[in-house]
């Protein structure tokens, strides 16, 4: 699905079913809405996209701050950090209750063969678990600045995967946005106040940290492109129920994988010790993990929603735009300093985002003109 050239209206609702935009899917004409083939988007599409953007920005900001709070107060387990990234998925069943069965969600797979969809969810769930582990472990062997710099490569990986797997249209405005957003992340990485002494880290471990973090960046981008591909070519069901189902089953597989790791590594025993030594107390430890898990689920719903309504690249763009939003909150919560580089990073991210958005407005305008003319 190439978001810039996307063609669909995303949006009328009927019987609580929310139609979302999947440009490569079968046509579904909605009376009174711009035609699918025109590629023009109606106000409902923009509203749904805005809600998903809000979920990603709010979810990722709070998950990042809570994750930092966990380490700040004495937490140290990578397996626990990995576990909470997907373990909150049961709350999505509450969201599923909002969509009656008659709304046409079609269970986990819509009209696609259940076995095929199950295999895809298991594979994607395991890849997500691997990504979560690499994402959490890279930081163990690298200074935060190096880690953040490597994470900034995520968007560049996504450009390649979405071009190859999703036929993403790459224009000057999109390239401009990707370069600016990568630069904005990289600035945050370079600017990080280095408090850790990594001088004792063996070269081999440093290299491992580098490869794990680079692997996480590539894997995350691949996951987003594969999700888009699955939705377009296999599920072909244009409902929010299908989006939620996909998120629930993939998170279930990833959570089982992280629980196996947590128990096999013996780190689960650390939980009671961590709880006892957590600086702000046991209740706070429990609440930190619960709300981190909830925040990651809110993020994931937004991320998956954006993949299906727009594209994997746009979803990753919003994840990247969220990063420079964290520092002002860290100033309030952790009394970090807000320096000029962090402000410049935010401004560059805003410029990159506007550049990407411009492409959408241009495409939408063209599509409306074509629809009016044809
Ligand atoms: N690699 C990677 N994994 C994630 N898991 C949740 N967010 C991210 C991300 O931005 N990158």
- Per-residue pLDDT reduced to its tens digit, 168-182: 989 999 999 999 999
Other C-beta atoms lying within 10 Å of the C-beta of residue 252:
17
pLDDT at 280: 95
Decide whether any atom of ligand 1 lies within 6 Å of the 139 Cβ.
no
pLDDT at 30: 35
Does residue 225 carry a pLDDT above 60?
A: yes
pLDDT at 58: 95
Q: CA 256, CA 89: separation in Å to the nearest integer?
A: 12
Decide whether any atom of ligand 1 lies within 6 Å of the 135 Cβ.
yes
Does residue 10 carry a pLDDT above 50?
A: no
Does residue 318 carry a pLDDT above 50?
A: yes
What is the tens place of the pLDDT at every residue in 94-122? 888 877 665 544 555 556 788 999 999 99
Decide whether any atom of ligand 1 lies within 6 Å of the 314 Cβ.
no
- Which residue of 220, 223, 323 sits with most ligand 1 atoms within 8 Å of its CB, as the best mutation to test the pocket? 220
Q: Calculate mean pLDDT across residues 133-144.
A: 80
- Which residue of 66, 78, 135, 217 sits with most ligand 1 atoms within 8 Å of its CB, as the best mutation to test the pocket? 135
Q: CA 229, CA 236: separation in Å to the nearest integer?
A: 10
Does residue 63 carry a pLDDT above 50?
A: yes
Q: How many CA atoms lie within 13 A of 365 on its CB side?
A: 6
CB–CB of 139/210 below 8 Å? no
Q: Calculate mean pLDDT across residues 295-320.
A: 93
What is the pLDDT of the chain when averaged over all its residues?
Answer: 82
What is the tens place of the pLDDT at every residue in 257-282? 999 998 998 888 888 889 999 999 99
Long-range contact pairs involving 276-284 (C-beta distance under 8 Å, separation at least 24)? 277/74, 278/73, 278/74, 278/75, 279/73, 279/74, 280/73, 284/73
Q: Calculate mean pLDDT across residues 74-89.
A: 91
Residue 7: pLDDT band (50, 70, 90) is: very low
- What separation in Å is there between the alpha carbon of 329 and the centre of ligand 1? 20
Does residue 317 carry a pLDDT above 60?
A: yes
- What separation in Å is there between the alpha carbon of 287 and the centre of ligand 1? 22
- What separation in Å is there between the alpha carbon of 221 and the centre of ligand 1? 9
Q: Calculate mean pLDDT across residues 306-325.
A: 90
Look up the pTM and report it: 0.81
pLDDT at 96: 85
Residue 361: pLDDT band (50, 70, 90) is: confident
- Which residue of 154, 213, 226 sits with most ligand 1 atoms within 8 Å of its CB, as the best mutation to test the pocket? 154
Residue 352: pLDDT band (50, 70, 90) is: very high
What is the tens place of the pLDDT at every residue in 185-197? 888 877 766 555 5
**Residue with the larger pLDDT of the pair 360 and 312:** 312
- Give, in order, the Cα–Cα distances in Å from 30 to each of 14, 45, 50, 177, 193: 10, 13, 21, 32, 53
């Amino acid at each position: 699905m190439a978001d810039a050239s996307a063609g669909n209206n995303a949006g009328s609702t009927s019987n609580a079913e929310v139609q979302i935009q999947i440009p490569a899917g079968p046509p579904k004409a909605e009376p009174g809405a711009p035609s699918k083939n025109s590629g023009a988007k109606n106000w409902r599409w923009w509203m749904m996209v805005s809600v998903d953007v809000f979920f990603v920005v709010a979810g990722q900001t709070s998950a990042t701050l809570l994750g930092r709070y966990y380490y700040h107060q004495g937490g140290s387990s990578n397996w626990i950090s990995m576990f909470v990234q997907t373990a909150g998925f049961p709350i999505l069943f509450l969201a599923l209750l909002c969509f009656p069965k008659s709304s046409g969600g079609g269970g986990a797979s819509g009209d696609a063969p259940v076995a095929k969809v199950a295999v895809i969810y298991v594979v994607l769930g395991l890849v997500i678990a691997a990504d979560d582990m690499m994402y959490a472990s890279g930081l163990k062997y690298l200074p935060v600045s190096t880690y953040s710099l490597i994470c900034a490569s995520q968007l560049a990986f996504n450009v390649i995967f979405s071009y190859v797997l999703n036929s993403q249209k790459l224009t000057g405005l999109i390239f401009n946005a990707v370069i600016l957003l990568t630069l904005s992340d990289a600035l945050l990485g370079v600017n990080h106040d280095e408090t850790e002494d990594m001088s004792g880290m063996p070269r081999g471990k440093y290299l491992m940290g580098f490869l794990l973090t680079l692997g996480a960046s590539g894997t995350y981008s691949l996951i987003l492109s594969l999700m888009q591909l699955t939705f377009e070519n296999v599920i072909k069901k244009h409902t929010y129920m299908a989006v939620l189902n996909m998120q629930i089953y993939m998170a279930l597989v990833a959570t089982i994988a992280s629980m196996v790791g947590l128990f096999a590594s013996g780190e689960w025993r650390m939980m009671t010790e961590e709880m006892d030594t957590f600086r702000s107390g046991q209740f706070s430890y429990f609440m930190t993990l619960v709300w981190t898990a909830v925040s990651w689920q809110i993020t994931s719903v937004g991320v998956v929603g954006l993949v299906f309504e727009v594209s994997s690249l746009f979803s990753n763009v919003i994840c990247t735009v969220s990063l420079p939003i964290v520092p002002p909150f860290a100033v309030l919560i952790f009394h970090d300093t807000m320096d000029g580089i962090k402000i410049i990073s935010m401004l560059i991210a805003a410029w990159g985002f506007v550049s990407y958005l411009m492409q959408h407005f241009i495409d939408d305008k063209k599509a409306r003109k074509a629809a009016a003319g044809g």
